[in-house]
Structure formats: C-alpha cells, structure tokens
Structure 1
C-alpha cells in the first residue's frame, strides 16, 4: 500500500484549522495568493474544534512545495509558527512558568492541534525524547518535517533562545540535501528510522518563560481539557474494551474474545486485520492509561497498578520503566 493510500484510509486523522493556516500565512508572506493556489481550507467544525483532514493538509504542502520549488518547505514554514497557529493550546503553553510545564501541556493536549500518530514522551538519562510511531499510517515527509520543526521553533519562541536539539529521527527516506535540516535543528538528523524522534536536553525543562500567568493557565487548561474530552479517543476500536478488562483484573486475549463472543483465534485474526497483535496493543493502552492515572495525584501507585490489571505493584513498576525509561514515581514527580 502506498503512503498516499495509507493516509487516505486514515479518515480520522486531522490537524487543527488554525495550524493549517500556518501554510496559508507563509504563502502570503512569499507573495503567493494562497487560496488561489490551494483552494479554501476544508474545515470541519466538530465538538467545538475546527479541523482539516490530514489528506488535505498533506496535499496542500505538496502543492506549495512544487509551486515554490522548495523541497525543505516544512522547515521554512515552521519558522513562522506563532501561538495562534496552535489555537488554545498555544496560549496555554505561552503562559506557563517553565518550558517543562509547557512541554507537559503540549504532550497532554497535542491532539487538539495534530491528531496523526500519538506522541509519547520518555526520559533517557539526561535527555527527554518525544516519539511518534506509525500506528495510524505514514503521513509523509512534508507533514512530518513541518510538525517536528514547528514544535522545535515554538520551543525556541517560548524560551526566547535559539536552542539546539540533540537529535532528530524521521521515518521517511533522506532528502537530496541534508544541510538545511542540520542547520535548522543544530543537531544530527537521521532518516529511514523506525520512528520519528525529537531529543532535547533534560536541562531545558527548567528554562523560565517570558510571560507566566498561573491564573490564566488554569482557565485555559480547563478550556483545553473540555475540548479534548469531546474529541473521539484515537487508537484501536478495542482500546475501551481493554481499559474495562484491566479494571476487572483480566486483560487477556481470552477475555477480550469472550467479550466479543468469538474464539481467541478469531479475535487474533480481527486484530491482525487492524494491523495489531494483542500484547503490543495491551502494552500501548496500559502505557497510555498509566500516564493518565499517574497525572491524578489522588491515586496511590498501588491503585494505578490495580486499575491497569496488575496483581503486583512491582510488575507495574518494571513495565512502566520499560515503557518510559523511568519508574512511575519519578515520572509523576517530573510531570
């Protein structure tokens, strides 16, 4: 299956309409009538969020890149990112006290802006990694490069510093010229990797931001969370079933098959048709829910372990360390 087919099949993938305006604004700054070239944005207003389909966003980037004869278009477009292009999320993070607080909110609310592949954060020694897999398809080089570069540029805007990153990995084939990427990121940039990765020094999290306003952040937090709560949860159609089975203490293939009134073999076949296998799916859902539970300070770690279907707290701790690179207690403290 080609990349284009993969993306077109992922009809739930989208970017925020405000984020899509980034390309239109860039084209106008280059003297190009954006709507004459791309057409009016295909905006869908759903559950309080204006969004555009990912396939439309990708096509717009391809048309603009060809029109401007600018292969590394994503880097140039990303340089012009502002808070308004991230909509309410942009204003939330702009008024956080530190870069660490801002990045935590970028992780929590990223689906309001960029609902493509889920973002996962891990701490590895003295570094922080943001990772995107390919569970929901490969959106293509221009989409990936614009997305990662926009995050880096926004971090630089927030901090007021031209911060270099440690490493960037892309799943796409290498471009003809690597120099623009190395110059933009100020770091090693690799291609043809298993996942997209952005790695920055952990020390950056303590950097103060220029306009902290805890009261405004609290108001905007509630607004962003309300919007997020109204969005359909991304992932496998079996995610919700696994969450319930975890709470019941029986997150097994047999229990999932029983819930759907089929045999375990049939359940495996259905998962395979979704591009899934049971154990990786279970671990992904557990990791996602673990972070949500750990973010709630009212839950003891033993309660989190039980909610995830672990009979022993130590088993949960070992698993969480494999997922994130740190134990759950440290993850909670650092987030």
Structure 2
C-alpha cells in the first residue's frame, strides 16, 4: 500500500506503543517497529504502514482507538514530559500547541475558545492521512489529557473527523463519550472551558532534573555574578522554550526599552544575537546529553523551524555536528 506523506514524521516512541498493543493482543509485531525506537523519528508513510498492518491482523473495528488506550507520556517523548511539568490542563495545552510536532508532525494543531468551549483542531494542509491514522492520533490526545488531570474526568462535547463515516460509528461515540461526526471540514475536538483549570496530577522527575541541569549549566556559563546577565539569560531561556524570540519582547520582560537593553549589552561588549546564541548553545549541549531527545526534538525545543538550521548553527558554535558532539560525550 503506497502513501503520499514523505516529509512528515511521528515520535519513535509510538513504535513501542504499537509493540505493547500487539504483544497484549497476541498479534505479530510489524518489523518496522523494531527499526524505529526511542529517539528515532518514524516517517509518516511508515507510521501509516504500521497501523494498517496491525489493522489487517486485528480484524476488529476502530483499532486505532484501542492502540491509543495504552499510551503513556514516554511514548511521545519530551512533549509528554512537558505536559507532566505543567500546573494545569490549560498550561499543558499551550505547550502541546507549540511543541505538537515533536509527537505528531503532520497537520498543524490550533487551539481556540468559542462560546465557553475549547476547540482543538487539525487542518488538512498536509493532506488527509485517513480514518485509521486520525482516530489513533485523536485517541492518543484524549488519553494523554485524561492521564494528566486524573482523577478529574475529561468530558468532551464534540469530536469531528474529516473522513467518511466508518461502518460502526457508535463505537466512536462510546469511546469519546460525546457526539462524533464525520465528513467534517477539519478534525476537531471540543470540551468545556472550565477544564483548562483542572490541575495536572503529577510532576515528572526526569524533566525536573533536565531543567535543573539546564539552569546549572547556564549559571556556570556566566563569567561573573552579574544580575543583569542572569536576568537576561533567564528571559532568553523562557523565550526560546516558548518559541518567540525578539529583542523587543525580552526588553519588555526586563522592564527596559529596546534601546535601554541595547545600551546595557554594549556596556558588556556583546550583542543580543551573540548572547542568544550562547544561551542556545548551552541548552543544546544539555539536550544532546539526553539520549531520549532526537535532533528534531532539540531543534524545535531551541525554537528552530528546521533541524537543518539547528545543525548549521551548532557546527558554527562548536566546529562539530550535533551528532559528532553527542557521540564524543559518550565515548
């Protein structure tokens, strides 16, 4: 079976999810699952093949929903840990909207609020991957969100799919606990806005340690105790993690005008872009020490739109590619 998605990809941890499902059901594990694990990205066309192979073996409707029941934060890599580090569902959704490509790099995800409902929607700019792929993705999202706020219930109001209605639509309404429609303009789920305040029920120690390591590394990089520079690197780090980096925004956060910030930088004999590059380099090295993070994960966490841009910048900083530097740290 041929598929038309050549550039898109999903997190390699989803291969382990499929292995878990197949083992539980006594099904043959697709060979592709053994090729893409851990930090490897799975090309989207391969992900489609994996799901269709499982569907052919399972021979029951809505297999994507059943696979999604077994999802754990580790299966979607750093995005899962980011969700667990948040205070409430609203904060987690903001992180998911910004970093969704780390888990599922296909059609873009957008979040809006209308008439006291939160609407999360996925377009079709990259194409329609089909009901099996879409139901798996939306099922994964639902189950991850439920885990984050458990024991509070995730009460959905509506689910919409862009695909034609399958043979057993009632299964979908039972699974999502709300009306489900098909042949929609966009894939969409909605739920009451008050759920945004639902607290995340646990913190993840792995991510906390990673963030502590970043903070320690950044502090170590400072040439001397300088309150201005500590504040600058703190706000730069936040801006990088939020994916919005500009001198005007940083200046506003620091309570300065743009010209005032530039004057302070001149006094210290460096530019905004130079200090930003130093912050990114330090963060990049910390991320590269974590074997769970792929290069595309790290590129997105550093607010680069493409992995290639991150690789070029890293080689300018260190004279090595990210892969070479990571390999040298592990002997």
Asked if these proteins are the same fold (TM beyond 0.5), I'd say yes
Pair 1:127-2:113 in alignment: no
| SS of match in other structure, 2:119 | strand
Alignment correspondent of 2:63: 73
Please list the CA deviations of residues 270-315 of structure 1 after superposition, one character each: whole Å capped at 9, or x if unmatched. Answer: xxxxxxxxxxxxxxxxxxxxx9479x95487xx9xxxxxxxxxxxx
Length, aligned pairs only: 224
Alignment correspondent of 1:14: 9
Relative to structure 1, the CA distance from residue 214 to residue 18 in structure 2 (aligned partners, 3 Å threshold; closer, same or farther) is: closer
Alignment correspondent of 1:204: 195
Alignment correspondent of 1:259: none
1:176-255 matches, within 5 Å, as 176-212=167-203, 216=207, 219=210
Alignment correspondent of 2:93: 103
Preserved CA contact (<8 Å) 2:13 2:37: no
Query: In 2, distance between residues paired with 1:214 and 1:66?
Result: 39
Please list the CA deviations of residues 199-241 of structure 1 after superposition, one character each: whole Å capped at 9, or x if unmatched. Answer: 1111111011112479945945998xxxxxxxxxxxxxxxxxx
Alignment correspondent of 1:25: 20
Preserved CA contact (<8 Å) 1:167 1:198: yes
Q: CA deviation at 1:95?
A: 2.4
TM-score normalised to structure 1 length: 0.60
Preserved CA contact (<8 Å) 2:149 2:200: yes
| SS of match in other structure, 1:211 | coil
1:82-101 matches, within 5 Å, as 82-101=72-91
Query: In 2, distance between residues paired with 1:78 and 1:100?
Result: 22
Q: CA deviation at 1:130?
A: 1.1
Q: CA deviation at 1:129?
A: 0.9
Relative to structure 1, the CA distance from residue 214 to residue 87 in structure 2 (aligned partners, 3 Å threshold; closer, same or farther) is: closer
- Which has the greater radius of gyration? 2
Alignment correspondent of 1:313: none
Alignment correspondent of 1:170: 161
In the alignment, structure 2 segments of 5+ residues that lack a partner are: 215-242, 258-331
Relative to structure 1, the CA distance from residue 153 to residue 222 in structure 2 (aligned partners, 3 Å threshold; closer, same or farther) is: farther
| SS of match in other structure, 1:34 | coil
Q: What root-mean-square deviation, in Å, do the aligned CA atoms of Structure 1 and Structure 2 show? A: 3.0
Alignment correspondent of 1:278: none
Relative to structure 1, the CA distance from residue 293 to residue 205 in structure 2 (aligned partners, 3 Å threshold; closer, same or farther) is: farther
Query: In 2, distance between residues paired with 1:215 and 1:70?
Result: 37
Relative to structure 1, the CA distance from residue 222 to residue 144 in structure 2 (aligned partners, 3 Å threshold; closer, same or farther) is: farther
Query: In 1, distance between residues paired with 2:177 and 2:200?
Result: 21
Please list the CA deviations of residues 92-131 of structure 1 after superposition, one character each: whole Å capped at 9, or x if unmatched. Answer: 2112111111111111111011001011111112111111
Alignment correspondent of 2:43: 53
Preserved CA contact (<8 Å) 1:97 1:213: no
Relative to structure 1, the CA distance from residue 205 to residue 293 in structure 2 (aligned partners, 3 Å threshold; closer, same or farther) is: farther
Query: In 1, distance between residues paired with 2:50 and 2:176?
Result: 24
In the alignment, structure 1 segments of 5+ residues that lack a partner are: 224-290, 304-335
Relative to structure 1, the CA distance from residue 40 to residue 132 in structure 2 (aligned partners, 3 Å threshold; closer, same or farther) is: closer
Q: CA deviation at 1:143?
A: 0.7
